[in-house]
Structure 1
Amino acid sequence: MVVIKKDIIYDENNNLKTDIYFPNNTNSQTKILIFWHGGGWFAGSKNDVKNWGIKLANAGFMTLIPDYRLAPTFTFPAAYNDSKKFVEWLLDSEYTDDNDQQNIVQIGASVGGTQALYIAGLYGFPTVTWSASVDFSNWMKNHQKVIPSRYGANELHLTDLHDIFESFYKFFVMTYAGKDDPVIYKQMDAQNYDFSKLGRLKMINSAHELVPLDGVLNFIAFLANKDHEVELLVIKGHRHAMDYAKDYLDESLDFLFQTIKEKKND
């Protein structure tokens, strides 16, 4: 049976909380997984992915699912700052030992995957992303005629799935940026993160989903040019993040387990 500790405050100033899911067996070699929920930086919460916390704990990970501040009340870089604050709290908390940093891994869904990339670059945690958004400035520059909408089918009467995706992509990027500003979009680009400590990374994306694949491929090329190790799995269809997560959970966990094993053997 998984033990759950809910609403543990990690940032008192902003009243930010995390839930922790403990597996049956915990010891000094406990593996720790941070799961970053998605929602376009304007929606979603740790409560929405409770079942995933249980799944990951049952797989052997002490799993932490933090909330972070959401737009439009809190715009870029609020969520990024919160993710860094959370890791600082975790490493200094009663839930980790001095050598536990090597036991921490991440999974991030959608923009949660984007945050996981940001943290992976700073701390080197092995990471799996499900449909991480990585390209903002180039995409916005090349899609100026797209009308942003959260509900493109209903609000704009769009019928083509590609058009609906583009309308929504522009909506959540602008919402998190806080305004239509190319300077902010550039700062949001994953290529501008600090990847000095980036470790093993696996990215999963669908071929025709919400996240534009050309931006992902450009990001992979950027990492390769910096001599970083990264795996990319492109799956068929248009499913986004949690829509395919169940089918690729085992593959994601196998990658993380193997990476932890390799790190301990180094």
Structure 2
Amino acid sequence: MISQEARDLFTANVAAMTAGDAPHLAVQVLPEGVNRRKDIAYIDDGSEAHLLDVYTPADAEAGTKLPVIVDFHGGGLYYGNKENNECRDMLLAKQGFAVVNANYSLVPSVSFPAQLKDAMAVLDWIRDRGAEYGLDAERVCVTGDSAGGALALYLTAANGSPQLAGALGLKPSGVDVKALVVTSGMFRLSGGVHATALSYYMEGYLQTPADRIKITPYLDLDKLIVDGAVPPIYMITSVEDFIADNTYELARILHARHKDHAMSVWPKGTERALGHVFNIVQAGDPEAAEAHQVVRDIADYCKHYI
């Protein structure tokens, strides 16, 4: 059961985040030279939550299969849609990728395990249908920002480990994800400096005893990394990111477990604040040099592994 207090918190946060995103989305400049195929169903049930977009360079040769970046938007697992990330993902496509920008079902309509099933279904769609859209299912990277980064981390850890996938009620897609890139990752779903707020969110994240049995052991990120099989991970944060501690914690664990990883921590901005998920929020501003550099950094990291 989700308390009314928790439901009210989700509702208030969605309203605040919608209002916060509206100004930059209204004035963003979408890049030219990118083809967009919008609102493709990866689960054929008529739900907007199960739609994705594919962005490809307009100058890509016909019949060429492109390396893929799959993106899961942020929003605390209860807010957002693919349109919030469209501009940044189109910029990634200009770097020579087919970018799959996917919606997924949101809390509190569903819980976190159901969101993981949606995310795995996106990989299944790439495996089964990607070739129709010029996607190379042998060269796939995954990215996510904020809570979308948590979704991407759990997804890739389970996708590479039948043991973990079974524990989470998932079936690996068979797609060999080559790398994971996370911006301002909200990896900690409980505890830490935001423990009070997360205790309310957890009512939506894990709504049933079955949900808690599946996920609770893996709220320990060390156990997730040990039992899972994560690909190389590139983490991006900044000193002005209010949850930068999440990235530092995951980096410590990855280092201790000898997992291939890299991390960029951007300093305080001079021309503009480089806050939470700044490379997405500022992607539509042609003058936001730091955001555009992060896009190139993400592309370079993925190219290294594919």
| TM-score interval, smaller chain | 0.7 to 0.9
Aligned equivalent of 2:296: 250
Q: Which whole-Å deviations, capped at 9, do the CAs of 1:202-229 have from their partners, x for residues lacking one?
A: 001223523251x433322322333211
Q: Is the 8 A contact 2:54 2:98 kept in 1?
A: yes
SS in 2 for 1:255: helix
Structure 2 distance, partners of 1:207, 1:20, is: 32
From 128, 142, 150, give the equivalent of 1:92: 128
From 206, 212, 217, give the equivalent of 1:177: 206
Aligned equivalent of 2:78: 42
Percentage of identical aligned residues: 22
Question: Which letter maps to 1:210?
Answer: F
> If the length of structure 2 is used for normalisation, what is the TM-score?
0.66
Aligned equivalent of 1:205: 237
Q: Which whole-Å deviations, capped at 9, do the CAs of 1:168-225 have from their partners, x for residues lacking one?
A: x66545543348x987555445444366442221001223523251x43332232233
Does residue 17 of the first structure (1) align with residue 51 of the second (2)?
yes
Q: Is the 8 A contact 2:54 2:99 kept in 1?
A: yes
Structure 2 distance, partners of 1:219, 1:94, is: 31
Q: Is the 8 A contact 1:23 1:57 kept in 2?
A: yes
Q: Indicate how the Cα distance of structure 1 residues 204 and 96 shifts in structure 2: closer, same or farther if over 3 A, else same.
A: farther
Question: Which letter maps to 1:207?
Answer: V
Aligned equivalent of 1:51: 87
Aligned equivalent of 2:189: 136
- Alpha carbon RMSD of aligned pairs, Å? 3.1
Aligned equivalent of 1:83: 119
Number of residue equivalences: 234
Does residue 70 of the first structure (1) align with residue 106 of the second (2)?
yes
Q: After TM superposition, give the deviation of residue 95 of structure 1 in Å.
A: 2.8
Q: After TM superposition, give the deviation of residue 63 of structure 1 in Å.
A: 0.9
Q: Is the 8 A contact 2:182 2:236 kept in 1?
A: yes
Structure 2 distance, partners of 1:235, 1:209, is: 9
Q: Indicate how the Cα distance of structure 1 residues 207 and 93 shifts in structure 2: closer, same or farther if over 3 A, else same.
A: same
| Gaps in structure 1 of 5+ consecutive residues | 149-168, 261-266
From 155, 159, 162, give the equivalent of 1:119: 155
Q: After TM superposition, give the deviation of residue 43 of structure 1 in Å.
A: 0.8
